[in-house]
Structure 1
Amino acid sequence: MASAAFESTGSEPEVRTAAGALRGTVDAGVAVFRGIPFAEPPVGALRFAAPQPVRGWDGVRPAVAYGPPPPQAGHFGMDALSRDAAGADWLTVNVWSPEPRPGAGLAVMVWIQGGAYSIGMSSLPEYDGARLARDGGLVMVTFNYRVGIEGFAHLDGAPANRGLLDQVAALEWVRDNIRAFGGDPGRVTVFGESAGGGSVAALLAMPCAAGLFRRAIAQSVPGTFFSPALAADIAAACAAELGLRPTVADLSTVAPNELSAAGDAVAAKSASFAERWGQPAHRSIAFAPVVDGDVLPVTPWQALADGAGRDIDLIVGHTRDEQRLFTVIEGLLGQVTQEQAETALRLFAPGPDGARRYRDAFPAAGPDELYELVNSDWLFRMPSLHLATAQITGGGRAHVYELTWPAPGMGGVFGACHGLDVPLVFGNLSSGQPAVLIGESPSPAAEGLSADLRTAWTAFAAHGDPGWPAYDVEHRLTRLFDTRPTVTAYPEETSRLLWQGQSFPALPLLGHAEM
């Protein structure tokens, strides 16, 4: 690694990385360096390839603007953001540091954003790392990784899980360069939510990520990991939208945004593939990490149970009302019919008599509650809890939490919904999407809860102790994040018992004999 040195020109901080010198800015009391390439642009001959080392540069490179986002799916208008961005430097990192000099030895937090493995960019205002870096006295890192077809489609001639390989490359960049920004490469915590939480879980299971982080925080881990056959079949459907084969040779000829649109088209009609794709088709889930036996040898639950995370400190948890966000978006709040609830129970409840067991376990629940419970449990709550259990089984330590504070935005319709934890953790309560959940003027309660979460996360990153006891299978102590801090037995006991003994295998292609 090249030697690192910190220099300052007036209010413009400078650092020297392995690839060359950078000049950043000062924002909210911390030095900020944006848009730093950590790999070569994955376009042209490198499209659909594993990330390649970035070439160095001469002189001082300005690091004052975020890099362009990778191609995006059409959710929430994200495709327009990527279409309007100039350049192909999709793979860039951003660093916030209160003390950007070698030898400062600060803890490091590396964020992986979510977005169903089909959207996500580090430039969104809710991911600004200044407050975490300043208040926590640590170095914050965010980055872009390939999503959708570019990052996760299972293609002939391409390595599997390219989006995950991008994440590994970003963590390798942190290992090799973070000292220049005041960070300690031996005290790296990786954290993420939703698909970012699933990515954290995957990294725990990936041999090529071993040794790149000391601690991990997995927020709302989705249970969707694909078998190669399922992933290949979905990729074939995406390519067929364009009259092509799911090969690097064919798809390399297609403009990235056209390829994203093909993925959108498949996701929009995924229910028509339900007989082949099963549960993901009913939730329009077209992309997920692939348990390919190489990049990702086994599922995270199996890997942790086998001891892969034994030396990694882990926080894992979820929100109470994970499904509510999607229920609101889909216009189903208060409108779920008995038939829709029964269909959800039949599709997602565990075991051959899972639907009956859910009805018996929640006898007072109407269609709306049953629909939300089984969807929340299948996609996020039980995969998250079982990840903690697998970590303990493998000889490791895990701290479990649940966010129970209901979001006040839009009259409180969201409850403690999926994604609510993200603005609270970052402390960006009125920037971008969070304003919808929390309101334009955050209340003292919201600010206080945000401070509690930031304190827990940054203390864990610094010392491995978030401030509440580790989880165990006897007492199941869990931190509830609300206006009043509480530690109690895991609160979703009924769901826990319904899912006891269930595994989360790679999802198969139905009617296909998996190898």
Structure 2
Amino acid sequence: MAKHPDGPVVSVESGDVRGVWRGDPGGSNASAAFLGIPFARAPIGELRYAAPERPEPWDGVRDATGYGATAQRGDAGTTLIPEPSVAGEATLNVNVFTPAPGERAAGLPVLVYIHGGGYIAGSPASPWYDGRAFNRDGVVTVTISYRLGFDGFGHVPGAPSNRGVRDWLSALEWVRDNIAGFGGDPSRVTIAGQSAGGGAVLALLGMPAAQHLFHAVWAMSAALADVSPERARTLSAKLAHLAGVAPSRDGFSSVPEETLTSLQEKAATPESKDRLAPVHLLLEDGLSWGPTVDGDLITQPTLAALAAGIGADKPLVLGTTDDEFTMVTDSARGKLRLVPVSLALAQLKLPRATRRAYLADNAAQRRKGTAAVLGRFVTDAVFRSTVVRAAEARGNAPTWVYRFAWPSPVRKWALHCLDVPFWFDCLDADGVTAIAGSAPPRRLADAVHGAAVGLIRDGEPGWPAWTAHPGTTRVFGGEASLPDVVADGYRSVRALL
């Protein structure tokens, strides 16, 4: 490591970067942060719809003490995870947090984290994604950015498909080629993510082109997209019509990114007067923007790829919170209390026999009212059923399953994103009290974060694998009277499979 009076300096392929120490260098808990390092050139101009290209070299020492530009533009408003937008054009960058900058012989395990946001939003600059706690436990941590929404995932004739996916691959290649300079071992890389980030790491797990770039996976609340080619083309045509341009690379290139971003939600909204049409679309077809089955990088849907044995040599941990989106339906519980729960589920096109079986398996949730059941149903259909399908698709591949069951004292439910500050062990970070209250349990963070470190460092999280005993589930934050590990933790979703 080069010495520098203003902070640690590390050499990467493109040049030298200067980070910032947190804590006294040489201290037991000291670590360094290198922020906003480009892994690819700015995706603007001719590169807007191109595959990522390696950054141009620079002279001297590049300052890496502040987060780089984000693909998310403007103020995202109040979100469950604070994810700030950073202005600028060079949006393809990585942040590296390390306890051993410049120590090439350290050989520490590496975590690469992919943020969520439905593939249309989100930012790697969140204070929750700081790798300080993982550094304390001997893990080099990297957070990455990628192109979002239509620019990242939309169908553009004449342009490479899945540009956001190509950004993930390019960032992982950067880690492979440069992480040793930060004390990391490129042969011990775990990828992890939450929500769309969880879907991202599952997509990578099922992608032949990605297999050499990582060695283990942790997927939190994975939101798969697997957009069909037909749907991708239809959405592209609708967006072009709304923007008033030809559905071509030249046509889309003539429209500012901000304009397409403002129109992409309208393009993905069903042309129906049925107020439930967007919910039906989500339940039946999934997210509109995200990884597409393009026949190139992604040759088949993720679960089919896992069932075919792709990624079977890599340990996988996956799970969800118990009530990802019940907070949404709970806001209408006053109106919904008058609606019979079976009728409400029928409105969501759940067949009668399935409704009966599902309600029988969710008697405890049913006692909480129609709003609670509807929230759990959407949670199960979008998130929790994916856990079981993925675990079963993996067959004999090493797989561990968990549930995050601790209900927030301020949000009532074990809701979407609540597990993230426990996983990163950042309970004192900005924004945590808004979702987890003023006294989130320290022991729960120790358990969740400790399991993550176990996978990253040792290849297993510390409870019996689903592989050996299908159904086996670790329950984080459940009732004190219940065991931490249960025999069939996702039994309540079986009717939906």
Counterpart residue number, 2:172: 171
Q: 2:292 is matched by which residue type in structure 1? A: V
Change (3 A) 1:21 1:308: same
1:338 aligns with 2:334: no
1:155 aligns with 2:156: yes
Cα distance, 1:494 vs structure 2: 2.9
Residue 87 of structure 2 aligns to a residue in which SS? coil
1:418 aligns with 2:416: yes
Identical-residue share of aligned pairs (%): 35
1:34 aligns with 2:35: yes
Q: Is the 8 Å Cα contact of residues 40 and 55 (structure 1) preserved in structure 2?
A: yes
TM alignment of 1:80-479, pairs within 5 A: 85-100=86-101, 101-134=103-136, 136-267=137-268, 279-280=281-282, 285-327=287-329, 331-336=331-336, 338=339, 342=343, 344-345=345-346, 347=348, 349=350, 353-362=353-362, 365=366, 366-391=369-394, 393=395, 395-409=396-410, 412-413=411-412, 415-439=413-437, 441-443=438-440, 445=441, 447-472=442-467, 474-479=469-474
Change (3 A) 1:448 1:321: same
Any unmatched runs of 5+ in structure 1?
1-5, 503-515
Counterpart residue number, 1:487: 485
Residues 238-247 or 23-32, more deviating? 238-247
Q: 2:425 is matched by which residue type in structure 1? A: G
Work out the CA distance in 2 between the residues paired with 1:230 and 1:341. 31
Cα distance, 1:10 vs structure 2: 3.8
Residue 241 of structure 1 aligns to a residue in which SS? helix
Cα distance, 1:251 vs structure 2: 1.2
Change (3 A) 1:12 1:20: same
Work out the CA distance in 1 between the residues paired with 2:235 and 2:279. 8
Q: Is the 8 Å Cα contact of residues 83 and 257 (structure 1) preserved in structure 2?
A: no
Q: Stretches of 4+ moved more than 6 A in 1?
A: 81-84, 273-277, 281-284
Work out the CA distance in 1 between the residues paired with 2:229 and 2:473. 35
Q: 1:399 is matched by which residue type in structure 2? A: W
Residues 32-41 or 479-488, more deviating? 479-488
Number of corresponding residues: 480
Work out the CA distance in 2 between the residues paired with 1:495 and 1:399. 17
Change (3 A) 1:83 1:380: closer
Work out the CA distance in 1 between the residues paired with 2:12 and 2:69. 21
Counterpart residue number, 2:13: 18
Work out the CA distance in 1 between the residues paired with 2:148 and 2:491. 35
Residue 212 of structure 2 aligns to a residue in which SS? coil
Residue 211 of structure 1 aligns to a residue in which SS? helix
Cα distance, 1:197 vs structure 2: 0.5
Counterpart residue number, 1:58: 59
Q: Is the 8 Å Cα contact of residues 200 and 216 (structure 1) preserved in structure 2?
A: yes
Any unmatched runs of 5+ in structure 2?
24-29
Q: Is the 8 Å Cα contact of residues 222 and 384 (structure 1) preserved in structure 2?
A: no
1:174-215, Cα deviation, whole Å (9 max, x unpaired)? 000000000000000000011000001100111221110000
Residue 8 of structure 1 aligns to a residue in which SS? coil
Work out the CA distance in 1 between the residues paired with 2:310 and 2:90. 33
Cα distance, 1:77 vs structure 2: 6.1
Residue 210 of structure 1 aligns to a residue in which SS? helix
Cα distance, 1:223 vs structure 2: 4.2
Q: What is the TM-score normalised by the length of structure 2?
A: 0.89
Cα distance, 1:269 vs structure 2: 6.1
Q: What RMSD, in angstroms, separates the aligned Cα atoms of the two structures?
A: 2.8
Work out the CA distance in 1 between the residues paired with 2:290 and 2:345. 21
Q: Is the 8 Å Cα contact of residues 400 and 479 (structure 1) preserved in structure 2?
A: yes
Residue 415 of structure 2 aligns to a residue in which SS? coil
Counterpart residue number, 2:27: none
Work out the CA distance in 2 between the residues paired with 1:280 and 1:221. 14
Q: 1:234 is matched by which residue type in structure 2? A: L
Q: Is the 8 Å Cα contact of residues 425 and 454 (structure 1) preserved in structure 2?
A: yes
Residue 200 of structure 2 aligns to a residue in which SS? helix
Q: Is the 8 Å Cα contact of residues 108 and 188 (structure 1) preserved in structure 2?
A: yes
Work out the CA distance in 2 between the residues paired with 1:92 and 1:275. 37
Work out the CA distance in 2 between the residues paired with 1:82 and 1:253. 29
Q: What is the TM-score normalised by the length of structure 1?
A: 0.86
Cα distance, 1:345 vs structure 2: 4.6
Counterpart residue number, 2:26: none
